[in-house]
Amino acid sequence: MSSWILTALIAIPLVGALFLAGAPRKNEGLFRWGSLAFMAVNLVLSISLLSSSWETPGLRYVVDIPWIEQFGIAYKVGLDGISLWLVLLTTLLTPVALFASWLSVNQRIKEFAIAFLALESAMIGTFVALDLFLFYVFWELMLVPMYLIVGVWGGKDKIYAALKFFLYTMVGSLLMLVAILYVGSQYHALTGIYSFDLQDLSRVALPYSSQIWLFSAFALAFAIKVPMFPFHTWLPDAHTQAPTGGSVILAAVMLKLGTYGFLRFAMPMFPLAAHYLGPTIAAIAIIGIIYGAFCAWMQKDVKKLVAYSSVSHLGFVMLGIFSLNASGVSGAILQMVNHGISTGALFILVGVIYDRRHTRLLSDFGGLAAVMPLYAVLFVITSMSSIGLPGTNGFIGEFMILAGTFASNALQPWSRIFVLCAATGVILAAIYMLHAVLKMFWGPVTHEANKALKDINLKEGLALAPLMLLVFWIGLFPNHFLKPMESTVEQYLARYQSKLVEINRDDSLRLLPPELASGAAAPIDEEAEQQAEQQAAARKPSGDHYVVGALEAGSHTVSATAR
Amino acid sequence: MLDLIIRFSPLVLVLVGAAAVMLADAFSDKGQSNDLSTVTFWAFVGASGGAIGLWVQGDTMALHPLVAPFLAADPMALLLDAVIAGAGAITALLAGAYLREHQMERGEYYVVMLLAAFGAMVLVHSTHLLSVFVGLETMSLGVYSLAAFRRTSPRSVEGAMKYFLLGSFAAALLLFGMALLYGATGEMELAAIATALVEGSAHNTLALLGTALITAGLAFKVGAVPFHMWSPDVYEGAATSVTAFMAVVVKVAAFTVWVRIAVVALSAANLADPFSGWPPLVMGLAVASMLVGNLSALVQTNVKRMLAYSSIAHAGYIMVGFVAYAHSAAGGDEGAGDQALSAMLLYLASYAASSLLVFGSLIWAGSKGKEVVSYEDLKGLGRRHPWIGVAMMVGALSLMGFPPTAGFIGKYYLFQSAVNVGDGLIPLVIFAVLASAVGAFYYLKLIVVMYMEDQEQEAAQAVPMRSVHLWAAIGLAAYFVFRIGIAPGNYMEIAIGAARAL
């Protein structure tokens, strides 16, 4: 029975959306609280996912039922340590964002609630889909509600921003669709049957020349979503025009789908291409870190500043992923969650001040600490988490990523230089965030309008409370969050390496043995499991902090000879 | 003889329906067209049901010698009968709502529509050049007069006139091509032409010239670039219910007969190499249609003109399947070839459902005195009338090729079949997906004006019409859009069955 939890997580918001669509428009309260109630059920249900024993790797809660049998397309969903936290992030952040939205959205309440519920359903679907066709469907479905949220409830240039967001994403994903179809047809050519199951398609060993193209198509779709430099230009527009709730979801969850896509699909399916293009992508990620930071520094509009800081932070995530060792990848996954929390909170805080002053220009503020002390405290805490101050969540993620990059074999011989450059990004983050804090909160109150501003109220506080809690929870007890993903990441990397070695040995078109496939359901065959456990035990000094242990990871990394 | 009538019951039922409507119109008082629309609807439903029944029954009765060389009753024809009659049923409902609202109701509309649909159905059954031509002209003459049906409107008459003149020209090209093909092979039956071409008794240059001319003539009917000039004017000028009928039925029938001629008569000789005969022509037409259709649709201000250009673009996508068929047939891969053909059929069906939904919503949004034709008229519609907004949005998303609608499955299947052919068609598929990304822009514009822009206060607002006929039509179209979009499995099966039997 419990395997249907994921399906329920997808279905409950959808049922909620249909229910609200049929409800009479007059009763505003029903839409405001009804939508939150459905999301709350989802949140509680998703927390029960933690009860699974996450010490062993592999996918659980797997449901696999045929959908379009002619093409072997199935409704296959499952959860592993990689997607676990992202699903929880979604179920937590969506109600928070919606709750925060209800403080300022007063028009077309019904449609807003429906759009948010549909969005939650599609996002969860994207995180748990294990069939590439299904993944693509959810990936596209996500676009429409977000498009409407930006375009209908957005600011002055909302239409431009919404169209740009939609078209950028669509171009990337259509090319990814062609790549998916190509891999599917190669699988058909090899086996005579169709399948879009990740477990099947990741067994196809493709020649280097086609891997490069296919990986590029996937990478383009995901890089636009992340967004990586130079495909990031839609992001500041979408963020500044979107309503607060839309920005929160966009930054906190939707961007993660890009990085998640690399991890789940692009790299395991095309390891050879990922291996050869990895350093290049890491370099682009570093350009993004520094470029995003400089752009953020120069912004006059605080919401744009936060938007550009996302470009910078997601550069770290990409760097961690392509460092391809336990510390880097775990750090990247944790940093995805961290970024969701801290940037989500920042957007809510910016929304709070915008609702009061109807401006977001840094120059319109100043001295707010005296007027709104509690607000200032929360803003500073969130900024610190965004910068990565020790004790907050951001520190753990960034430290692990930098540590992973330092020790990375995949990024040799540039790993040290990469760390150096990326670390500059941390310093720049401190500069632009503290710059914003300085402009907004310290100094004398220069504007008359700011003198009578009310401090943060109970509802706003309630929206921010869970995020503040998590900032410190992750910051002080990171192992609570790292433990469940540990075994999955180990197994993920081991599989990636063995598949890379195998394909590097012989990159002719053929079907690899099943044990090299990704996306197998747990429990996988016991021997490999035991091996993974032994390796994990051997690598980790007893009782030591996981971060330190992870530093020595990557010893089994194989550097393939250059082509 | 009874066998024959049963075998062709879809056609017979449509003819009987036409006769019944004609009689009913003659004996009824004026102003009863709603009832005629219902009669027409049931005639089409009967025809559709007949086709489905025959499909399910699935035996192969020998055809009466009277029709044997001219018409076939094979699975493909039955499938397309069902599609044409189904689309006819929905457009009959649309017409019932539209004509009454705008006070254009005249019984002959339904008679002409039924007869045009009959022509279309003859066309999809044709296995002989003569019956192809007769069917095509029966359909076209009906559609010409329907296009001119709004005779007080100069635009309607202008459009119909253009359509008629250019259509006649295209028919002449087609006829000339047929004559050349006959001259080259001495045969007019499609299968016999193929035999003659294979045996080498044919005059190859003549045959090639004939092929080119027939391709041009049919490309005109489906509205492929560069034979598309008529379509924006006709789409814009004609009454919206006519536009819907034209966009769907004519395109479906013309594509089917094109497939049949190309596959049955012209394949064997030409497909030894995919770069000879009609395949390169079709590839050129596909690329040009996708490019010109999508780019021109971007700049339109009239929604019906935009839909005209978008239908040109859709013709381009469908031809990608055509090219895929040619390549796989040349490579001797029959499975892939069948898949490509069935992808075209499924695409036609999904295109029909989504177009009908969009045109239906356009009709729905307007009422007497104020029709909705431009983006301007649609401003704020989604807010004022949420249900119309949702219907139009679903239709637009389906035309765009967005999950979970029919349009997505259609595109997916089409592109999958092209990719399966091998690496050779990947550039074409990439071109097609990029073209559909361009297409997304103008469909999104529909959503933009409906939901994100407000109408100026002084502008006259269109009031939506209220009509059970219309709601039924929208409901049916929406059902098929989601049915194909969410559970396409057995539709794919049917389409493959039809393609395999060809």
pLDDT in tens, A403-436: 999 988 888 888 888 999 988 989 999 999 998 8
Is B213 inside a domain boundary? no
Please tell me the distance in Å from A170's CA to the nearest CA on chain B: 7
Quick check: A171 contacting B, CB < 8 Å?
yes
Which of B386, B412, B451 is closest, CB to CB, to A151? B451
Could you tell me if A23 lies within 8 Å of chain B, comparing CB atoms? no
Check residue B34 and give its pLDDT. Answer: 56
**Type of residue found at A123:** M
Which chain A residues are within 8 Å of B437, Cβ to Cβ? 167, 170-171, 174
Shortest Cα–Cα distance, B82 to chain A (Å): 22
Task: Identify the H or E element spanning A67.
Answer: strand A60-68
Q: pLDDT band at A444, cuts 50/70/90?
A: confident
CB contact under 8 A, B416 and A184: yes
With tokens 């673009």, the residue in question is B313
CA angle A238, A240, A241 (to 5 degrees): 65
pLDDT of the residue at A550 = 40
CA dist A357 and B245 (Å) reads 55
Share of chain B above pLDDT 70, in %: 94
Encode pLDDT of B178-214 as tens digits.
999 898 888 888 888 888 887 777 777 888 888 889 9
Residue B376 reports pLDDT greater than 90: no
Q: How confident is the model at residue A563 (pLDDT cuts 50, 70, 90)?
A: very low
Confirm whether B230 is domain-assigned: no
- Assign B72 a pLDDT band (cuts: 50, 70, 90): confident
Q: Report the distance separating Cα A418 and Cα A395, nearest Å.
A: 18
- Which of A108, A159, A185 lies at the smallest CB-CB distance from B419? A185
Q: For position A203, what pLDDT does the model report? A: 87
Which has more confidence, A563 or B267? Answer: B267
pLDDT at A507 (0 to 100): 82
pLDDT at residue A133, as a whole number: 92
pLDDT in tens, B352-372: 999 999 999 999 988 887 888
Given a cut of 80, is residue A559 above it in pLDDT? no
Cβ–Cβ < 8 Å for B389, B383: yes
Question: How near does any CA of chain A get to the CA of B220, in Å?
Answer: 30
Q: Pick from A135, A178, A201, A210 the residue to mutate for testing the B interface (most B CBs within 10 Å).
A: A178
Q: With an 8 Å Cβ cutoff, are B434 and A174 in contact? A: yes
Q: Which of B404, B452, B488 sits opposite A137 (nearest CB)?
A: B404
CA distance A428 to A297: 8
Question: What average pLDDT score do residues A525-553 get?
Answer: 48
Q: Tell me the per-residue pLDDT of A464-490, one tens digit each, with 9 for 90 and over.
A: 999 999 999 998 998 888 888 888 898
Report the pLDDT value the prediction gives residue A448, as an integer from 0 to 100.
Answer: 80
| Closest Cβ–Cβ partner in B403, B429, B496 for A137 | B403
Residue A546 binned pLDDT confidence (cut-offs 50, 70, 90): very low
Compute the C-alpha angle A24/A29/A34, nearest 5°: 80
| A20-34, A235-249, A369-383: least confident range | A20-34
**Is B404 close to A181, i.e. CB distance below 8 A?**
no
Nearest-by-Cβ selection for B430 from A108, A136, A178: A178
pLDDT, mean of residues B5-21 = 89
Q: Which domain holds residue B431?
A: 278-502
Between chains, do B433 and A147 touch, taking CB under 8 Å as contact? Answer: no
Across the interface, do A68 and B430 touch by the CB < 8 Å criterion?
no
B442 within a domain of the structure (yes/no): yes
- Least-confidence region, from A183-197, A230-244, A256-270, B262-276: B262-276
Which residues make Cβ contacts (< 8 Å) with residue A248, sequence separation at least 6?
A93, A96, A97, A100, A344, A347, A348
More confident residue, A400 or B367: A400
Residue B13: predicted pLDDT: 92
Task: Answer yes or no: is B241 within a domain.
Answer: no
Distance from CA of B83 to the nearest CA of A (A): 21
Residues of A in contact with B447 (CB under 8 A): 147-148, 151
Residue B234 lies in a domain: no
Q: Which pLDDT band holds residue B270 (cuts at 50, 70, 90)?
A: low
Size of interface A-B (CB pairs under 8 A): 84
Contacts of B487 in chain A (CB under 8 A): 68
Q: Does residue B98 lie within any of the structural domains?
A: no
| CB contact at 8 A, A557 and A325 | yes
How far does B457 lie from chain A, in Å, by closest CA? 19
In a domain, B344, yes or no: yes
- DSSP β-bridge partners for residue A361: A301
Amino acid making up residue A528: A
* pLDDT tens per residue across span A40-54: 999 999 988 888 778
Query: A175 contacts in B (CB within 8 Å)?
Result: 430, 433-434
Is A75 strand, coil or helix?
Answer: strand
Query: Any chain B CB within 8 A of the CB of A417?
Result: no
> What is the predicted pLDDT for the residue at B326?
85
Element of type H or E holding B291: helix B278-298
pLDDT over 90, % of chain A: 36
C-alpha distances in Å from residue A480, one per residue of A57, A58, A85, A352, A474: 16, 19, 11, 31, 8
Q: What is the mean pLDDT of residues A360-364?
A: 85
Using CA atoms, how far residue B233 sits from A268, A368, B314, in Å, is 52, 62, 18
Q: Which of B419, B428, B500 to mutate to test the interface with A (most CBs of A within 10 A)?
A: B419
Burial group, residue B295, by CB count within 10 angstroms (0-12, 13-18, 19+): middle
Split at pLDDT 50, 70, 90, the class of B275 is: low
Measured between CB atoms, which of B383, B429, B440 is closest to A178? B429
Mean of pLDDT over chain A:
85
Nearest to A549 by CA among A288, A338, A325: A325
CA-based angle B450:B451:B454, to the nearest 5?
80
Distance from CA of A433 to the nearest CA of B (A): 34
Any chain A CB within 8 A of the CB of B429?
yes
Cβ separation of B433 and A188 shorter than 8 Å? no
| Helix axes A373-387 and A458-476, enclosed angle (nearest 10) | 30
Determine the pLDDT at residue B383.
82
Question: Is residue B190 in some structural domain?
Answer: no
pLDDT digits (tens, 9 = 90+) for A124-137: 999 999 999 999 99
Residue A161 scores a pLDDT above 50: yes
CA B189 from centre of chain: 24
Q: Which of B412, B443, B446, B482 to mutate to test the interface with A (most CBs of A within 10 A)?
A: B412
- In contact, B288 and B428? CB cutoff 8 Å: no
Chain A within 8 Å of B426 (Cβ-Cβ)?
Answer: yes
**Residues 6 or more apart from A94 whose CB is under 8 A from it?**
A39, A42, A116, A119, A120, A123, A249, A253
Q: What is the mean pLDDT of residues B32-39?
A: 74
- Strand, helix or coil for residue B293: helix
Is the predicted pLDDT of residue A543 greater than 70, yes or no?
no
Q: Which of B386, B412, B420 sits opposite A185 (nearest CB)?
A: B420
Each residue's pLDDT tens digit, B397-442: 999 988 889 999 999 999 999 998 877 888 999 999 999 999 888 9
A476: which 2 tokens?
A: 């002080």
| pLDDT reported for residue A540 | 46
What's the pLDDT score for residue B411? 92
Mean pLDDT score, B257-263: 89
Contacts of B496 in chain A (CB under 8 A): 70
What CA–CA distances, in Å, run from B423 to B327, B333, B409?
Answer: 11, 14, 22
Query: Mean per-residue pLDDT for B242-258?
Result: 92
Q: Give the CA count within 13 Å in the CB-facing half-sphere of B15.
A: 10
Cβ neighbours of A479 (radius 10 Å)? 12
Q: Does the beta-carbon distance from B452 to A159 stay under 8 Å?
A: yes
Q: Name the residue with higher pLDDT: A355 or A545.
A: A355
Q: Which residues of B touch A185 (CB under 8 A)?
A: 416, 419-420
Contacts of B497 (CB under 8 A, 6+ apart): B75
Report whether B169 contacts B222 (CB < 8 A).
no
Under 8 Å CB-to-CB from A149, ≥6 apart: which residues? A112, A115, A116, A119, A242, A243, A245, A246, A249
* Residues in chain B, total: 502
Q: Quote the pLDDT of residue B413.
A: 92
Nearest to A486 by CA among A47, A3, A46, A80: A80
In this predicted structure, what is the pLDDT of residue B268? 55
For residue B306, pLDDT over 50 is answered with: yes
Low-confidence winner among A195-204, A508-517, B122-131, B382-391 (lowest mean pLDDT) = A508-517
Confidence band (pLDDT; 50, 70, 90) for A530?
low
The tally of domains found in chain B comes to: 1
Q: Does B482 reach chain A within 8 Å, measured CB to CB?
A: no
Question: Among all residues of chain A, which has the CA nearest to that of B448?
Answer: A159
DSSP code string of A256-295: HHHHHHIIIIIHHHSHHHHHHHHHHHHHHHHHHHHHHHHH
